[in-house]
Amino acid sequence: MAKKLIGFIILLIILTSCRKDLSAPVLPFATPNTIGAQVDGAPASFDLNAHADTMYSERSGHILVVTAWDGPKGSSDYISFSIVSSNHIGVGTYSPSSFLYWQQSDSTAYSFSNASDVHLMITSETDSTVAGYFSGTVFQDYHDGTYKEHTITNGSFNVTLGAF
């Protein structure tokens, strides 16, 4: 009986010493400076020069811009969105003031036509990072009356926060 009790105590000590700290925040990506999404159902990773910039303007208010490329700057796909608010931009749900997806294969910039089509949530903000989720539909209206759109889903970002 004493051997079973000692074995149980040793097992209990081992198990409790291996416990993870569950209070640490969970971010969308383990790797900082990453923006990812599905574009028309295909996975896309924007991790080159992924970052967020902030500024304050007396005329516009607080501004946050999140951007990244999926390869060499100027020759790959690009994603960018911004928030303009009279209040501090922190954890919460926002209607972005701009949302841009540049598709290098057809050299076209796609943007949203209606802010209600784009959803953006900041889930974590520190002095040096901002993270959250986004989704929406972007399109390009051609001069001949046709248009092409892209559906962006399961978007998430975890980027370094800087200033313009």
Rounded Cα distance, 136 and 100, in Å: 11
pLDDT tens-digit map of 95-133 = 888 888 888 888 888 888 666 678 899 999 998 999 999
Cβ-contact 136, 118 below 8 angstroms? yes
Residue boundaries of the structural domains of the chain: 33-163
User: Exposed, middle or buried by CB within 10 Å (0-12, 13-18, 19+), for 131?
Assistant: buried
pLDDT tens-digit map of 128-158 = 999 999 999 888 877 777 788 889 999 999 9
Q: What is the pTM of this model?
A: 0.75
| pLDDT at residue 115, as a whole number | 60
